[in-house]
Chains A and B, each alone.
Chain A
Amino acid sequence: MVGVLGIAAIAAYVKLAPADKIPDNLRAKPAATSTPRPTDDGHVDIIKPHAKGTDITYGRGTAEVPQGGDKVVTAVNGFLESCPFVPDDARALSAFVKNREVVINFSASFYKSYGTTDEGTLIKGLQMSLGQFPEIDHILLEADGKPIDTLGNIELMNGLNVIRPDGSEPSTHGAAQP
């Protein structure tokens, strides 16, 4: 009886007390958000691949993040639009960042095998698209909520590193000295 009353009292307190009076340990956890808020100017870089034979180069454009939209999803879908070999309805649906790793969930049609040159273009473009976000080091790919193991010849179960705008990849963190 005492226990029930105690729980009821806490519940009433949480419900009725002003937010700034609620102790941290009783506050509701915020719902898992997608990627951080859009950058200050609301724009992201869009990677645009070009090919001259097998020589693939990558240019950059910009796109505005839609109101309430996700900057990672905008960057990825902007890149996919420059890849005519990706099915028309293939899209990044969501992106979730945690511990410097982003999980991108694509529509089911994205998950297929591509020719080797196209596969290389796709993977490097994704690495570069996400390299613009300093809070992301690593990428995991999913389609329809299931992990993507490969898009042809390259193993993707362990994910990919991003490629920063200067061409570098993230350093190993916390390497201890022997």
Chain B
Amino acid sequence: MLATVRMKRLLQFLIPWMAITSAGWAQTRSAELVFTYFGSIRGRVFRVGNECYVPLDVLRNVGWQCEEREGTATVRVDERRARIALRRIADQPMVPMTELLDAVGLQGDWEPGTNRLDVFAPLNSVKYERGHLTVDAGLPVKSALTVLKNPTRTVIDVTGAKMLPITGLILQDGAKITQFKPNVVRITINGTVPNPVLPADAAVAKSFNATLGVTSDPATIVTKGEDEDPPQGGVPVTTQLDPPNNQTFIGPQVQAGPLTAGEDGPTIAVLTLRLSRALPAAPTFRHPEPSLLEIVLPNTTIDLGEGAPSIDPLAVESATTRMEGSNAVLSLKLVRPMGTEISFAGNDLQIKLLKPSIGDGRLAGKTVVIDAGHGGHDSGATTSGKELMEKNMTLAIAKLASSQLIQEGVTVIMTRNTDEFIALQERSEIANRNHADFFISVHINSNGLDSTTRGGITFFHLKDPISYVLADCIQSQIKQVSGLPNLGVWSDGKIYKSGFAVLRYAKMPAVLIECGFINNATDRKRMMTDDFKQNIAGAIVKGLKVYLGQK
């Protein structure tokens, strides 16, 4: 009898714990890690939510240096180093892979609808000039050269690499580049090169140089022939933010159309544009206004079809087309600002509209962290006699922005209210700890090499499409009211490859505003006025409203 009672009590105690444990296990799924040119990695890999957990040995096997101590791992990838808390899964200490990638300035993407995490080597730059090819990636890639006939061209496949909006491209002498497969970037040089071989050290390398020699054919980009490799299924192509180059194409034009709506959800809408065959060069896109997306299709004619095209009314208000020389421009008026990614799916162009999470679409009730750059012993940029200091100018603008946001019903958290020093990472952590909706850092620029440089820039982190949208919304307001030249929206990768610390650590849409140049007399004079400071503060408020879809 006593034994039965004890058993009953034991079960009463254990059942809730068993339920909790099994619920935890239900969220843990086996996953696959596909790592650059290595391909699918052998080893136990798990997915929990949007995180991918991998054993340290997997990282060691791809050449990353890992040290484990007291529940944390120090992982070194080239010069980048990150300290990450380990989590015990399936009785094994595991590293949260996406958190680690983020910490070392890399990125992995979950393949939609699967439990497969793809880790790519970000392509920093590709240069082909006067017969010299230089490829530089963020991780080692595997490269191979092949000569194809009819027409003759030299093809260099860089396996494991991914092109990014910030990939620097200088391509001359008939060279072109495409994201040929999800993990292969293809560089094609039309015509015959005298020395069609890659050096031995290019087989697996983070960067390499090859002297191929100047092509014997004219430096025009030739439209792909019928025997050319077709675009592959589900192939991401460039998501360039820059306008297309003025390239000359010969050969028949690609026919584009119709445009149809596909998947639609709270975070993404997909449109598909039918193409008669492969484009001769990568398409590009631009946002003349935050809610206007223009996609430029090289050497293409476009017809969206009879009557109103079948497009998603929840994402796109209207679609129009026009020609710019031999290029077709598809112009989409979006219902609100969205991020953009374009990719190939077979012969079609997929346009992914990434919808920022806006909650109820109202600014009131949101939490915004305003970060006045520098402070305390850290003066930031100064005038030569230190009459003006960046730390004081940023604090003045931050306080005004805070005041205007509070009037809109926003919860504002200032990283500093006084002249004090706050470390870079701590600024972002303040936003992370408070689950802020936005992080906005205010700065003043300086260019000591050229004091004629003027204007404002808003930065976003590397290739983050959502922070790009926020930066675009704010900068589009600043340019209207600042009275200074508009230098546009920049990735922080343009200044340094791993970007700015405050943007890298922030886990929400985050931007860094450089209001103007302190060492330019005209900018400086303007920035010292109360008008300017009020206007920048107002532009931050309006930019947030535009981001949230308020008309």
User: Cβ of B495 and Cβ of A167 under 8 Å apart?
Assistant: no
Distance, CA A141 to CA B239, complexed state (A): 35
Distance, CA A159 to CA B81, complexed state (A): 9
CB neighbours of B449 from chain A (8 A): 49-51, 56, 83-85, 118, 121
CB neighbours of A116 from chain B (8 A): 443, 445-446, 495, 514
B135-155 residues at the A interface, CB under 8 angstroms: 136, 139-140
> Nearest chain B CB to A87's CB is how many angstroms away?
11
Distance, CA A53 to CA B450, complexed state (A): 6
Distance, CA A53 to CA B453, complexed state (A): 5
User: Cβ of B501 and Cβ of A154 under 8 Å apart?
Assistant: yes
Chain A proximity mask over B27-71: 1 for CB below 8 Å, otherwise 0 = 000000000001001100000000000000010111100000000
User: Which residue on A lies nearest to B61, using beta carbons?
Assistant: A178
Contact pick for A115, options B41, B134, B140, B390, CB 8 Å: B390
Distance, CA A118 to CA B520, complexed state (A): 13
Is A132 part of the binding interface, using a Cβ–Cβ cutoff of 8 Å? Answer: no
A138-178 residues at the B interface, CB under 8 angstroms: 138, 149-150, 152-155, 158-161, 166-172, 174-178
Distance, CA A67 to CA B136, complexed state (A): 37
B481-499 residues at the A interface, CB under 8 angstroms: 487, 492, 495-496, 498-499
CB neighbours of B41 from chain A (8 A): 178
With A155-B501, A161-B78 known to touch, is A115 a contact of B207 (CB < 8 Å)? no
Q: How many residues of B contact A (CB 8 A)?
A: 61
Is A29 part of the binding interface, using a Cβ–Cβ cutoff of 8 Å? Answer: no
CB neighbours of B125 from chain A (8 A): 167
User: Cβ of A158 and Cβ of B495 under 8 Å apart?
Assistant: no
CB neighbours of A118 from chain B (8 A): 381, 446-449
User: Cβ of B502 and Cβ of A115 under 8 Å apart?
Assistant: no
CB neighbours of A178 from chain B (8 A): 38, 41-42, 58, 61-62
Most chain A beta-carbon neighbours within 10 Å: one of B42, B379, B447: B447
Distance, CA A143 to CA B71, complexed state (A): 33
User: Which residue on A lies nearest to B80, using beta carbons?
Assistant: A158
Is B205 part of the binding interface, using a Cβ–Cβ cutoff of 8 Å? Answer: yes
User: Cβ of B501 and Cβ of A153 under 8 Å apart?
Assistant: yes
Is B255 part of the binding interface, using a Cβ–Cβ cutoff of 8 Å? Answer: no
Distance, CA A124 to CA B425, complexed state (A): 22
Main SS of the interface on chain A?
loop
> Nearest chain B CB to A158's CB is how many angstroms away?
4
CB neighbours of B496 from chain A (8 A): 120, 123-124, 154
Chain A proximity mask over B475-519: 1 for CB below 8 Å, otherwise 0 = 000000000000100001001101111101000000010100111
User: Cβ of B207 and Cβ of A154 under 8 Å apart?
Assistant: no
Is B549 part of the binding interface, using a Cβ–Cβ cutoff of 8 Å? Answer: no
User: Cβ of A168 and Cβ of B136 under 8 Å apart?
Assistant: yes
Most chain B beta-carbon neighbours within 10 Å: one of A153, A166, A169, A170: A153
CB neighbours of B204 from chain A (8 A): 175
User: Cβ of A168 and Cβ of B453 under 8 Å apart?
Assistant: no
Chain A proximity mask over B412-452: 1 for CB below 8 Å, otherwise 0 = 00000000000111000000000000000001111111101
B206-221 residues at the A interface, CB under 8 angstroms: 206-209
Is A52 part of the binding interface, using a Cβ–Cβ cutoff of 8 Å? Answer: yes
User: Which residue on B lies nearest to A164, using beta carbons?
Assistant: B207
> Nearest chain A CB to B261's CB is how many angstroms away?
40
User: Cβ of A175 and Cβ of B140 under 8 Å apart?
Assistant: yes
Distance, CA A160 to CA B77, complexed state (A): 12
Contact pick for B134, options A52, A84, A150, A167, CB 8 Å: A167
Is A33 part of the binding interface, using a Cβ–Cβ cutoff of 8 Å? Answer: no
Distance, CA A155 to CA B375, complexed state (A): 17
User: Cβ of A160 and Cβ of B38 under 8 Å apart?
Assistant: no
With A153-B501, A168-B208 known to touch, is A54 a contact of B487 (CB < 8 Å)? yes
Question: Which B positions have Cβ atoms within 8 angstroms of A?
Answer: 38, 41-42, 58, 60-63, 77-81, 125, 127, 134, 136, 139-140, 201, 204-209, 374, 378-381, 390, 423-425, 443-450, 452-453, 457, 487, 492, 495-496, 498-502, 504, 512, 514, 517-519
Q: Which 3 A-B pairs have the closest CB atoms?
A: A115-B446, A85-B448, A175-B63
23 contacts between A and B (CB under 8 A): A51-B450, A53-B450, A83-B449, A85-B448, A112-B379, A113-B378, A114-B381, A115-B447, A116-B443, A117-B445, A117-B447, A149-B424, A153-B492, A153-B502, A153-B512, A159-B79, A161-B78, A166-B209, A169-B206, A170-B206, A171-B205, A177-B61, A178-B58
